[in-house]
Structure 1
Amino acid sequence: MLYSKYEWRIREAAPTITERLAHDLSLPPIVASLMASRGIQSAEDGRKFLYGTFELTHDPYLMQGMREAVPRIRKALEDREHVLIYGDYDADGVSSTSLMIHLMRYLGASYDIYIPHRSNEGYGLHNHALDWAHQQGVSLVITVDTGISAVEQIAYANSLGIDVIVTDHHEPPEVLPEAYALINPKIPTCPYPFKGLAGVGVAYKLAQALVGDPPEEWLQIVSIGTIADLMPLTGENRVLVKHGIESMRKTRYEGIRCLLEVSGIHVEQVTAVNVAFSMAPRINASGRLDHAGRAVTLLTTEHREEAERLAWELDGLNKDRQQVVENIVQEALGMVQNRWGGQEIPPVIVLAGEGWNVGVVGIVASKILERFYRPVVILGIDPETGNCKGSARSIPGFDIYAALLTCKDVMDHFGGHPSAAGMSLHRDRLEAFEQGLHRYAEDALEAEHLIAVCEADLEASLSEVSVPILEQMEQLGPFGMANAVPKIVFRDVVIKDVRKIGKEGKHLKLRLQQKREVIDAISFGWGHLADILPVGSAVDVLGELSVNEWNGSRKVQLMIQDICANYQQVFDYRGIKEPIREIQRWRAELEPHLRCPAVRSAVVYAKDSHPEIKSQLYDMCLWVYDRNAGIVPDNEIAASGSQEEISVLFVLDVPETAEQLAAFMSAFHSVPNIFMLHPTRNLRERLQIPDREQFKKLYVSLAGMTSAPMPEIEVVTRLQKQTSLSSRMLVKVLDVFEELAFIQRDQGQITFVPKPEKKPLDASRHFRELSDLADMEQHLLHADTEQLTQWMTSRTKGVS
């Protein structure tokens, strides 16, 4: 049984609404169903969703603070004041700063920009930066994607005679700064109808207020920041991003064009998904490992050569970032094992490490969250000062910003959203910080919050999807937060081919079949699953569809997000080298898919066959075959546990007798996954199921040899020449003849009994055991994988 990573919840679309949308909008039923499952109830709503334009956006002057900000900026332009654009170092901050540069150029302003260094300075407005601005003659600061929490810093700017206009979209604190103007739709008193704008979206509304109808190409910058900052692609954001992506397909911005090319994306075919997974990480890498100014220059340069150089530099930084992340993730996983190995992991995971690059701790937090499905805080510790800077990522239903509010007394600074946040504090306060989060989680987290859920849009068959259908699905884009790429469940598809692909076999490629339909499928990072997805397996898959183009051919491809097999599975690894090492690897890699912690993992083997097993697999349930009891526990974990709770069984040796097989099957009849790792045996030693005619011929052959004693080895040699039976089989035959008193054995000599008492063959215990043992070995040692699987499955189902 292959367990799904998530609990699949399939949205239900009312058939009547689906039919109405399909009819009124001339859509295929599957596309209409997708729209209905996303809450679209009428043809009018459907037309707005599919074809909505700028009439669905809002007047920028509805945003509180705009009527104060615009005249102040115009005055600065008239008086040739020097303006400072103060941004942030993430992709939204980079986009916001870049958009403001385009705006300042458009307005002919005198301006400078300032973005703090993530590692050296940290998030937000800083007094030393304001001192620098004052020295440069700045009299107006416009913040983008930051500033809403900068109460003390803005007070300091006021003292310097600098006016500050804040444009931000982060959660506002209880006490707001006394800025010249505060523009943030999330301020409780702000009447702006749409609250989901990114920082760059708020900056764009300011640009709209200043110039009326900004150049369409500015929406390309808006798209990047909105997508990268995981803002909902609904309402106004949907309109802005949709038009931004359309503009990007014919972009004149050299930086965007080069970044797409470096990412391997055809400019004319760019999508919001490409922006999220290819462009945004490279832009973010600039601020994570270097300085975000490099990415700002890329998005604002007008020179092709500079754009190419910067795009390749960001690509290199992104590769470095990936390696840094991987190293920290491994350290963090080691910490989890050391702190809570074998124990229940706390409701909020807090991990801190010296020297961890604070530019990537947010990514690390996301990966640890994905592994354990709990809110996670990852902090980098400066070993010299003891100062910690970190990022938090949370799960649905747990507001991490609200959780941090309860710990604000132990932090120097914090800010963020319900799902993601940043903070700084001293290492001496880490324990109090962690305990505070745990206390909050005890009240706020329920058991159902800790169940990873994946919402799928619908179930379908492979025959329902095609390239034309996918092209119509694309009308539902741009896809991103709150308007995800459609996730579809396909049930009972059969694996026709399985391969590991990519560097070190990290990724998985499958060929799936359902009736006559066949589809290629890819799953990134799941190459290890190839070990437990044998050809012929029937599985359920959940994934996203795309069109794969290769050599002029366009085919539907499935990007697998999750996979499961809801039946007992037997994995054939007979004769594998170093089985104990493989057991350790499988348990480490496959635990989420097999749910096999040590106490739920069992190993069965022959006594003394693996002397190293107790030192290497000491934390697992160890069982050995026994001549009398059939099978017995070989360590305390096995003795105190229940076989009913075992989720995976590793078989290192075959039973020696049918009784041992029966005991083995009885003990582990309900185990969902069985790995057969036992050695194979030479065919020359093969046993055959006894045949009465065969025994009759052997009896005649023995009679024809001599009634005088003869060495048993010579008897076996002569019989081998007359038959195709193995020497091992012939020794078993002699055991039967001896039990029936057809021969006598004495000190290695055999004597034929001329006129024995007539007895039926099945009166011999050895004959019956030989039949059972030959049948057992035929399947365990010599059958092909399909036969072995069917035999094991039928045997386990036949006992209880």
Structure 2
Amino acid sequence: MLHSKTRWHSPAADPDTVRDLARSLSISPLLSSLLVTRGLDAPQEALLFMDGGAEDSHDPFLLKGMAEAVPRIRKALQDGEHILVYGDYDADGVSSTALMIYLLRYLGASFDIYIPHRSNEGYGLHNHALDWAVQQGVSLIITVDTGISAVHQIAYAAELGMEVIVTDHHEPPEHLPEAFALINPKLPDCPYPFKGLAGVGVAYKLAEALLDGKVPEEWSEIAAIGTVADLMPLLGENRSLVRRGLSSMRNSPFPGIRALLEVSGITMSTVGAVNIAFGMAPRINASGRLDHAGRAVSLLTTAHPGEAEQLAGELDLLNKERQLVVERIVAEATEKLSKQIGDGEPPDIIVLAEQGWNVGVVGIVASKLLERYYRPVIILDIHPETGMCKGSARSIPGLDIYAALSSCSGLMDHFGGHPAAAGMSLHRDNLNAFAAALNEYAAAVLTPEHLVPVTAADGETEIADLTLQAALELERLAPFGMANPLPKFIVRGAAVKETRKMGQEGKHLKLVLQQGRHTIEAVAFGKGPLAELLPGGTVIDVLAELTVNEWNGSRKPQLMLQDLAVPQSQLFDLRGAADAVKQAVYIKELLQPYSGGAPFRTAAVFQNSRLSPLSQLKGMSLWVYDEEAGISPLPSGQAEASGTISLLCLLDMPETPEQLDALLAAFPQVENIALLHSLRDGRDRLQIPTRDHFKALYKLLAGIAAAPTPEHEVLLRLSRQSPLSVRMLGKMLDVFEELEFIERSGGTISFVSQPSAKSLTASRQFVRLGQIAEMEQYFMEGSLRELEDWMLARRQGVS
């Protein structure tokens, strides 16, 4: 039994509405149900969403501050003023800066750019940068993707004689800076109807205002990158802007974008928003995380293909380095948290800080820990000399991290961000108070339900409905991203027809799923090890995205697995494992993420004679087979069979039916059993005893043991003349002794020439031999299904 990692939530669409919309628009019921569940149940509204239109774009002068900013910039152009574009180091900030470069080049402006170094300077405006700007003769500063919280810095700029126009999209603080103009759709009194613009989206609206709406179409490519990378909702104006950008990108005139697509392994003709999010954006961000974002700005703005190829290659290498750095810090942070909480639960908000944690990647580390613990996470780097901490936060839907930080703003030097992500700086002396204040805030906001991850699905469907035509039709809902995610479907009761690992070192999983006569391939990245837990015939539920797999000119539908569950108890066939203890630990680690949030209890059972180092079975309750009680807890093993056992590992098989029955009775609620026992050599196995076996043995004994003969010699001679194992022959001698066909005395055996007539079935040893042999045959040779059915029958007999 595997529990899903998250709770799947699937809204039910009204079947009549789905049918009517499908008929009205001549679309499939699958696409119609998606539109309905996403609130697009009116035909005209659904058509507008799928096909787009001019209605999505709004007058840039509806943005508060635009009416003041545009004439000021035009005056600067007319007077030949030197302008500074002040950007940010993430992909949105880089895109915003690049877009402003194209705009100011187009307008013939005199300008410089400045992007702070993430590690050395940190987020936002800095006074030393303003000092530098004055020295360069700057009189007007235009911020992009930053500035809305820079109250003191903008006041300092005014003291230096420079005016500042802020273009930003971050949450505005209560006290706003006194800039020449503030352009931010989130300002409380801003009438702009769409509030979800990225920083680059606001910069794009400024370009629209300055160019009377005649913005070169290819600039939408730059806007698309920043919008997708900054996880802005792909609805309304963003959807229209990204769609136009992707269309232009498929034949991009920008050498930098072409080179970035190539190094990311993205096919230009089919580039989509998902490619930006997982291919282009990480490489752009790597520049600001491990080096300086100026390199990424140069890539997006260069006109030279050779320079573009070189810069794209450098960003690709930086991204690979970034991945290694992230892996190291995640391991260190996880270990640090484990030491803090021991066997307890993590705090409502996890706050971890350490020297040497590259400030450029702490946001990624926070995301990975959030995924593991499903708690808001803050990861900070501590400067070894100054003691200043710079960090990033990532949060869950139930907690607005910006609001949480605002509640303890006095403990920080600076902070800013969104409900889901934020950045901050503070001194290490305030760390304990900071963590305590945040958790006090969280305690009043979070409920237990908030801490259970939920994945929104778009509906439950059958494999028969997941056709190639349906997959192609779903593209009408693209581009996919925030607020318009790739559709996810729940398929229940699918049988695994084929299982295999794929990719380097078997890292990924490929399944063929079947329902009735319909099959579909399913791929799960990073889940290759689960192949051992999903043998053919396993019935599973899956949460998956429907995609098109193109290979060698052929196209077919394919599921990309996001999560899965096996609703029934499982028997894992690992019989003959070279190292049963090691394999038990491995299976435990594989299953633990699929415990469904319930306590993950494991147990191991073995023979008393086992010599393996049981110390490796840390955290498992340990049990041994017992001749009298059947099964007994090991005193030092913290044996506990109460409650549901997630995994029961049989390191050795039981020797008797009584031991098996005791085992089944001791663990009445077990979700999974792993068979890890060794396999006896065929010549050492027992056979179901028959009357013919005993007839043949009786004749042999008459000749071998007519006079008292040492038992070991009898067994040796019998084994030479009989196909039965010595072990089997020994147990048959026990039957003959009970029936008084032989006599044992002083280690010798004597054949009784004229015994009393007795039926074999009257022998308790004969019946017991049959039971033990049957059990051994199932455990050694039976198929998984045969053994499972037999054990179920015995369990029912036990209960």
2:491 corresponding residue in structure 1: 490
Q: After the TM superposition, which residues 199-348 of structure 1 pair with which residues of structure 2 at under 5 Å, given as runs?
A: 199-212=199-212, 213-348=214-349
2:150 corresponding residue in structure 1: 150
Counterpart contact for 1:85–1:112, Cα < 8 Å: yes
SS at match of 1:226: helix
Q: CA 1:369–1:256 in 2, change beyond 3 Å: closer, same or farther?
A: same
Counterpart contact for 1:596–1:648, Cα < 8 Å: no
Which stretch has the larger CA shift, 355-364 or 374-383? 374-383
SS at match of 2:480: coil
Counterpart contact for 1:93–1:225, Cα < 8 Å: yes
Offset, 1:763: 2.8
Distance in 1, Cα, partners of 2:241 & 2:65: 22
Q: After the TM superposition, which residues 262-661 of structure 1 pair with which residues of structure 2 at under 5 Å, given as runs?
A: 262-594=263-595, 600-610=601-611, 612-613=613-614, 615-635=615-635, 638-639=638-639, 641-661=640-660
Structure 1 length-normalised TM: 0.97
2:138 corresponding residue in structure 1: 138
Distance in 1, Cα, partners of 2:755 & 2:18: 84
Q: Deviations over 1:224-266 (max 9, x none)?
A: 1010000001111111111111111111111111111111111
Offset, 1:636: 5.1
Offset, 1:548: 1.6
Offset, 1:555: 1.8
Distance in 2, Cα, partners of 1:300 & 1:2: 50
Offset, 1:679: 1.1
1:750 corresponding residue in structure 2: 749
Offset, 1:270: 0.5
2:10 is aligned with 1:10: yes
SS at match of 2:643: helix
Offset, 1:503: 3.3
Distance in 2, Cα, partners of 1:300 & 1:798: 76
Question: Residue 136 of structure 1 aligns to which amino acid in structure 2?
Answer: Q
Q: Deviations over 1:720-756 (max 9, x none)?
A: 3444211111110000111121110112211112232
Q: Deviations over 1:571-593 (max 9, x none)?
A: 11112122222333333343112
1:766 corresponding residue in structure 2: 765
Which stretch has the larger CA shift, 590-599 or 657-666? 590-599
Distance in 1, Cα, partners of 2:716 & 2:613: 38
Q: Which runs of 5+ in 2 are unaligned?
A: none
Which stretch has the larger CA shift, 383-392 or 780-789? 780-789
Offset, 1:331: 1.0
Which stretch has the larger CA shift, 267-276 or 11-20? 11-20
Counterpart contact for 2:4–2:596, Cα < 8 Å: no
1:777 corresponding residue in structure 2: 776
Distance in 2, Cα, partners of 1:761 & 1:34: 70
* Identity in percent: 59
Q: CA 1:353–1:584 in 2, change beyond 3 Å: closer, same or farther?
A: farther
Which stretch has the larger CA shift, 689-698 or 365-374? 689-698
1:688 corresponding residue in structure 2: 687
Q: CA 1:794–1:316 in 2, change beyond 3 Å: closer, same or farther?
A: farther
SS at match of 1:670: coil
Offset, 1:395: 0.6
Q: CA 1:248–1:706 in 2, change beyond 3 Å: closer, same or farther?
A: closer
Question: Residue 249 of structure 2 aligns to which amino acid in structure 1?
Answer: M
Q: Deviations over 1:205-242 (max 9, x none)?
A: 11111112211111111111010000001111111111
Q: Deviations over 1:466-521 (max 9, x none)?
A: 22221111000100000000101122222233233333332222222333333222
Distance in 2, Cα, partners of 1:560 & 1:657: 43
1:186 corresponding residue in structure 2: 186
Counterpart contact for 2:374–2:452, Cα < 8 Å: yes
Counterpart contact for 1:352–1:381, Cα < 8 Å: yes
1:159 corresponding residue in structure 2: 159
Distance in 1, Cα, partners of 2:472 & 2:425: 47
Distance in 2, Cα, partners of 1:332 & 1:799: 48
Which stretch has the larger CA shift, 663-672 or 113-122? 663-672
Q: CA 1:442–1:706 in 2, change beyond 3 Å: closer, same or farther?
A: closer
Distance in 2, Cα, partners of 1:352 & 1:301: 38
Distance in 2, Cα, partners of 1:550 & 1:793: 45
SS at match of 1:165: strand
Offset, 1:341: 2.8
Q: Deviations over 1:105-155 (max 9, x none)?
A: 111111111000000000001111111111101010000000000000000
Counterpart contact for 1:285–1:321, Cα < 8 Å: yes
Q: CA 1:165–1:737 in 2, change beyond 3 Å: closer, same or farther?
A: same
Counterpart contact for 1:572–1:785, Cα < 8 Å: yes
Offset, 1:64: 0.7
Q: After the TM superposition, which residues 71-82 of structure 1 pair with which residues of structure 2 at under 5 Å, given as runs?
A: 71-82=71-82
Distance in 1, Cα, partners of 2:794 & 2:250: 60
1:735 corresponding residue in structure 2: 734
Counterpart contact for 2:661–2:795, Cα < 8 Å: no
Q: Deviations over 1:152-189 (max 9, x none)?
A: 00000011110000010101101000000001111111
Distance in 2, Cα, partners of 1:11 & 1:457: 7
Question: Residue 16 of structure 1 aligns to which amino acid in structure 2?
Answer: D
Q: Deviations over 1:389-427 (max 9, x none)?
A: 111111111111111111211111111000001111111
Counterpart contact for 2:402–2:422, Cα < 8 Å: yes
1:69 corresponding residue in structure 2: 69
SS at match of 1:192: coil
2:101 corresponding residue in structure 1: 101
Counterpart contact for 2:460–2:490, Cα < 8 Å: yes
Structure 2 length-normalised TM: 0.97
Distance in 1, Cα, partners of 2:197 & 2:596: 41
Counterpart contact for 2:98–2:297, Cα < 8 Å: yes
Counterpart contact for 2:13–2:33, Cα < 8 Å: yes
Distance in 1, Cα, partners of 2:321 & 2:611: 43
Distance in 2, Cα, partners of 1:248 & 1:586: 46
Counterpart contact for 2:705–2:749, Cα < 8 Å: no
Distance in 1, Cα, partners of 2:776 & 2:668: 19
Offset, 1:637: 5.5
Distance in 2, Cα, partners of 1:145 & 1:797: 66
Distance in 2, Cα, partners of 1:381 & 1:799: 60
Offset, 1:198: 0.6
Q: CA 1:81–1:435 in 2, change beyond 3 Å: closer, same or farther?
A: same
Question: Residue 271 of structure 1 aligns to which amino acid in structure 2?
Answer: G
Q: After the TM superposition, which residues 659-698 of structure 1 pair with which residues of structure 2 at under 5 Å, given as runs?
A: 659-698=658-697
Q: CA 1:597–1:45 in 2, change beyond 3 Å: closer, same or farther?
A: closer
SS at match of 2:765: helix
SS at match of 1:521: strand
Counterpart contact for 1:6–1:453, Cα < 8 Å: yes
Distance in 1, Cα, partners of 2:755 & 2:638: 50
* Equivalenced residues, count: 798
RMSD of aligned residue pairs (Cα, Å): 1.7
Distance in 1, Cα, partners of 2:372 & 2:226: 27
Counterpart contact for 1:375–1:393, Cα < 8 Å: yes
SS at match of 1:625: strand
Offset, 1:27: 0.5
Counterpart contact for 2:144–2:203, Cα < 8 Å: yes
Distance in 2, Cα, partners of 1:437 & 1:637: 39
Q: Deviations over 1:33-74 (max 9, x none)?
A: 111111111101111111122222111111111111111111
Question: Residue 685 of structure 1 aligns to which amino acid in structure 2?
Answer: D
Distance in 2, Cα, partners of 1:751 & 1:568: 52
Counterpart contact for 1:599–1:621, Cα < 8 Å: no
Distance in 2, Cα, partners of 1:608 & 1:427: 55
